[in-house]
């Protein structure tokens, strides 16, 4: 059976305080959706990276991953860096398929939530 997982992909930082909320989000989602349903892959600087997440998926039934960039918009990372990382992960693990989703900031509900939070300040 081939299962599909979600990979959360924030930018990355050396600072553990910066990475902590993303690690918590991934763990909370695993509690809700299952341990092999959600992975975390930092785009750069921090680990795990996309190839690390792919290696973790190979230990499970997951063979397709939908990558959700936790970015506000499309930019160079989205247009160039992430596709390069996907190609590298695919070369290392050809049994896996990857789908790059739109950045979370482009989702209308995310944008509306930000508006609500900002107006409430």
pLDDT attached to residue 55: 97
What is the residue whose two structure tokens read 């690690």?
A: 23
Q: Provide the pLDDT for residue 70.
A: 97
Domain architecture of the chain: domains with CATH:
3-119 (3.40.50.1400)
From the list 4, 45, 54, 48, the residue with the least C-alpha distance to 26 is 48
From the CB of residue 78, how many other CB atoms can be counted at a distance below 10 Å?
Answer: 18
pLDDT along the chain (121 residues), means of 10: 90 94 98 97 97 97 96 96 98 97 96 95 96
pLDDT at residue 1, as a whole number: 56
Question: Judging by beta carbons within 10 Å of its beta carbon (0-12, 13-18, 19+), is residue 3 exposed, middle or buried?
Answer: middle
Which secondary structure element, helix H or strand E, spans residue 4, and what is its range? Answer: strand 3-9
């Amino acid at each position: 059976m081939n299962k599909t997982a979600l990979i959360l992909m924030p930018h990355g930082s050396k600072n553990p305080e910066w990475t902590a909320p993303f690690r918590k989000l991934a763990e909370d989602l695993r509690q809700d959706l299952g341990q092999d349903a959600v992975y975390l892959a930092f785009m750069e600087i921090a680990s795990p990276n996309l190839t690390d997440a792919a290696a973790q998926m190979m230990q499970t039934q997951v063979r397709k991953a939908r990558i959700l960039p936790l970015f506000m918009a499309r930019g160079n990372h989205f247009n160039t860096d992430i596709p390069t990382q996907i190609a590298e992960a695919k070369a290392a693990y050809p049994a896996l398929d990857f789908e790059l989703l739109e950045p979370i900031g482009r989702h209308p509900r995310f944008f509306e939530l930000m508006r609500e939070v900002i107006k409430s300040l």
